[in-house]
Amino acid sequence: MHSHRIVRGAVSALLVASALQGLSPAAAKPPAPVVAAIQADEAAAVKRLQQWIALPTIANMGVNHAEGAAHMRQLALDAGFQQGEVIKTAGVPAVFATLDAGAPTTLGVYFMYDVKHYDPKEWNSPPLEARLVDRPGEGKAIVGRGAVNQKGPETAFLAAVKAFKDSGTKLPVNLVLVAEGEEEIGSPNFPQALASPAVQAALGKAAGVFIPGASQSSTGSVSTELGAKGVIEVQLISSGEKWGRGPNKDVHSSLMASVDNPAWRLVKALNTLVEDDGFTPAIDGYFENVRPLTAREKQIIAEEVAAGDEADIKKSLGIRTWAKDENFLTSSIRLAQRPTVNIQGLVSGYTGPGGKTVLPGRAEAKMDLRLVPNMTYDEAVTKLKAHLAKRGFSDIEVVVSGGYSPTEVAEDSVMIRAAQATLNGAGIENTLSARAAGSWPGVMFTGAPLKLPALGFGAGRGGGAHAPNEWFLVDSTNPKVAGMAEQSEIYADFLYEVAKAAAK
């Protein structure tokens, strides 16, 4: 849900330069036995991905919580992690695994093993069958829920790790894996798992943390993000029950003449949260701690914009104009710079075709707030509640279902340097992105107490995260785009680059 890969799909990838360089076969490859082992394992790796997709973990629907965690642990052990344990939380369990290679450098790896829910009716092939489907002009892709977000890239990374074991090659770094099953609902309980002393001790030794991702555009380019917005998932609920006015259930609509309506109450409360333009956040003090973009960040955005195709982006988003009729550059700066107050959905009373004469007892707005540095999760939740209370809306329930603060990673950090070296070594065109407009829980690593550089990294390609027909490219016919085995090779190389960058 919050994964930056979606936003990359939506905007950043489209902003990326489309210079055509090939994957250079010569540069910076991992050792030949590792490459050979990856290739020998290719079909088995695809099978592992298909089996994993067949076992969906869905956090907010109680689907395969324990089973998904057990499977995640076993996948790590099979790849060569020496120990793995399931860590219970108040929600979906986490998994913690380590691989001690006796190396001077340790790398943290963050996985999510949950997936977004899905409606099989909307899919062209069954979402859990993970069928191999031809994508004209791209190659063969696995279609299934979780294919790209995030089981495909994670399987490619585990295949790289396994290849070291299979080929008897010593890993250049030690690995610490932390995996959660609640990323799609805003990681509400993952901090609890991370706080375990053993996890803290293990991650405390890491030079940085990364999450595997298939981040190549259709032309093969990759955008490396220097941070991402934070997010708060929140539902505002107006009800006769909490309000003490209006009905505690749906009643006949004629009663509107003498009975209060919780749906109107919600409209009046929502109306205060954005300015009259229906766009600018109006929560009291919301912009107080917003750090303006640096000159360097603006420069990076300008470079992205110069290389992007505005018309194509607008077409893919189905929009005709940016908010406030701003030009592409101004709007792109806003996209990175601005915190948001978004309505994801509205649900109240009758929601079927046409109308039905009820006065609803309950109304709910599903919202998300996106936060930029130096806003924090706690600050924004507090300000939202205070804003509503100040205007007499204390009866509106504020249900925070997940979220976290923004994350940032320095351009000169070990992780960014290692990512750039790996991509350059593989001949993959790559640019920087100042800040993803989407979110991922990198702050759990970049924030206190760990304060580690953290990023998403990976070659390969996929799409349709959270949508029907989610796909992940397994065999690529475009020489600029990595298939699954090539991704594993690039991950293997990345381990060497992390060791190198950390040694500098």
Of 71-79, 90-98, 247-255, 409-417, the segment contacting a copy of itself by CB under 8 A is 247-255
Q: According to CB under 8 A, which one of 82, 124, 342, 374 is a site residue for a copy of itself?
A: 342
Size of site (CB under 8 A) for a copy of itself: 98
Using CB under 8 A as the binding rule, the residues of this chain from 121 to 180 that contact a copy of itself are none
The reply on whether position 305 binds a copy of itself by CB under 8 A is no
Using CB under 8 A as the binding rule, the residues of this chain from 365 to 424 that contact a copy of itself are 366-368, 370, 401-402
Q: According to CB under 8 A, which one of 353, 412, 448, 451 is a site residue for a copy of itself?
A: 353
CB of 413 to a copy of itself, least distance (A): 23
Q: Which is nearer to a copy of itself, 156 or 371 (CB)?
A: 371
The dihedrals phi and psi of 368, each to the nearest 5 degrees, come to -135, 145
Q: Measured between alpha carbons, how far is 17 from 498 in angstroms, rounded to an integer?
A: 25
The reply on whether position 229 binds a copy of itself by CB under 8 A is yes
The reply on whether position 433 binds a copy of itself by CB under 8 A is no
Q: According to CB under 8 A, which one of 11, 142, 426, 484 is a site residue for a copy of itself?
A: 11
140 strand-pairing partners: 134, 475
The reply on whether position 298 binds a copy of itself by CB under 8 A is no
Of 91-99, 130-138, 321-329, 382-390, the segment contacting a copy of itself by CB under 8 A is 321-329
Q: According to CB under 8 A, which one of 25, 318, 451, 504 is a site residue for a copy of itself?
A: 318
Only one residue has tokens 């009259």, namely 276
CB of 89 to a copy of itself, least distance (A): 17
Q: According to CB under 8 A, which one of 61, 66, 386, 410 is a site residue for a copy of itself?
A: 61
Q: According to CB under 8 A, which one of 26, 90, 351, 504 is a site residue for a copy of itself?
A: 351
Q: According to CB under 8 A, which one of 45, 160, 414, 437 is a site residue for a copy of itself?
A: 437
Q: According to CB under 8 A, which one of 17, 305, 323, 381 is a site residue for a copy of itself?
A: 323
The reply on whether position 251 binds a copy of itself by CB under 8 A is yes
The reply on whether position 260 binds a copy of itself by CB under 8 A is yes
Of 3-11, 74-82, 134-142, 453-461, the segment contacting a copy of itself by CB under 8 A is 3-11
Q: Which is nearer to a copy of itself, 256 or 302 (CB)?
A: 256
The reply on whether position 311 binds a copy of itself by CB under 8 A is no
Q: Which is nearer to a copy of itself, 396 or 432 (CB)?
A: 396
Query: Rounded to whole angstroms, what are the CA distances from 402 to 152, 405, 449?
Result: 25, 11, 20
In our burial notation (b when 16+ CB lie closer than 10 A, e otherwise), range 431-462 reads: bbbbbbbbbbbbbbbbbeebebbbbbbbbbbb
Q: According to CB under 8 A, which one of 128, 274, 307, 398 is a site residue for a copy of itself?
A: 274
Q: According to CB under 8 A, which one of 319, 386, 410, 503 is a site residue for a copy of itself?
A: 319
Query: What is the full DSSP assignment across 171-214?
Result: PSSEEEEEEES-GGGT-SSHHHHHTSHHHHHHHHTEEEEEEE--
Q: Measured between alpha carbons, how far is 164 from 180 in angstroms, rounded to an integer?
A: 25
Q: How many CB atoms lie within 10 A of CB 334?
A: 16
Using CB under 8 A as the binding rule, the residues of this chain from 30 to 59 that contact a copy of itself are none
Tell me the HSE value of 376 on the side-chain side, using a 13 A CA sphere: 6
CB of 461 to a copy of itself, least distance (A): 18
Of 121-129, 150-158, 282-290, 311-319, the segment contacting a copy of itself by CB under 8 A is 311-319
Q: Which is nearer to a copy of itself, 362 or 417 (CB)?
A: 362
Q: Would you say how long the chain is, in residues?
A: 504
Q: Which is nearer to a copy of itself, 70 or 329 (CB)?
A: 329
Q: Measured between alpha carbons, how far is 155 from 135 in angstroms, rounded to an integer?
A: 20
Q: Which is nearer to a copy of itself, 331 or 376 (CB)?
A: 331
Q: Measured between alpha carbons, how far is 447 from 421 in angstroms, rounded to an integer?
A: 25
Of 81-89, 347-355, 377-385, 412-420, the segment contacting a copy of itself by CB under 8 A is 347-355
Q: Measured between alpha carbons, how far is 384 from 295 in angstroms, rounded to an integer?
A: 30
Q: Measured between alpha carbons, how far is 229 from 442 in angstroms, rounded to an integer?
A: 10
Q: According to CB under 8 A, which one of 341, 388, 450, 459 is a site residue for a copy of itself?
A: 341
Of 105-113, 148-156, 346-354, 456-464, the segment contacting a copy of itself by CB under 8 A is 346-354
Query: Rounded to whole angstroms, what are the CA distances from 428 to 102, 202, 470?
Result: 31, 32, 24
Q: Measured between alpha carbons, how far is 214 from 420 in angstroms, rounded to an integer?
A: 15
User: Is-contact 445 454, C-beta < 8 A?
Assistant: yes
Handedness of CA 31, 34, 37, 42 (dihedral sign): negative
Q: According to CB under 8 A, which one of 135, 145, 265, 461 is a site residue for a copy of itself?
A: 265
Using CB under 8 A as the binding rule, the residues of this chain from 443 to 482 that contact a copy of itself are 466
Q: Measured between alpha carbons, how far is 167 from 403 in angstroms, rounded to an integer?
A: 41
Q: Measured between alpha carbons, how far is 484 from 461 in angstroms, rounded to an integer?
A: 9
Of 80-88, 93-101, 233-241, 456-464, the segment contacting a copy of itself by CB under 8 A is 233-241
Q: Measured between alpha carbons, how far is 69 from 50 in angstroms, rounded to an integer?
A: 17
CB of 340 to a copy of itself, least distance (A): 4
Q: According to CB under 8 A, which one of 17, 63, 128, 267 is a site residue for a copy of itself?
A: 267
Query: What is the full DSSP assignment across 258-281?
Result: TS--HHHHHHHHHHTTB-TTS-SB
User: Is-contact 185 85, C-beta < 8 A?
Assistant: no
Q: Measured between alpha carbons, how far is 443 from 453 in angstroms, rounded to an integer?
A: 9
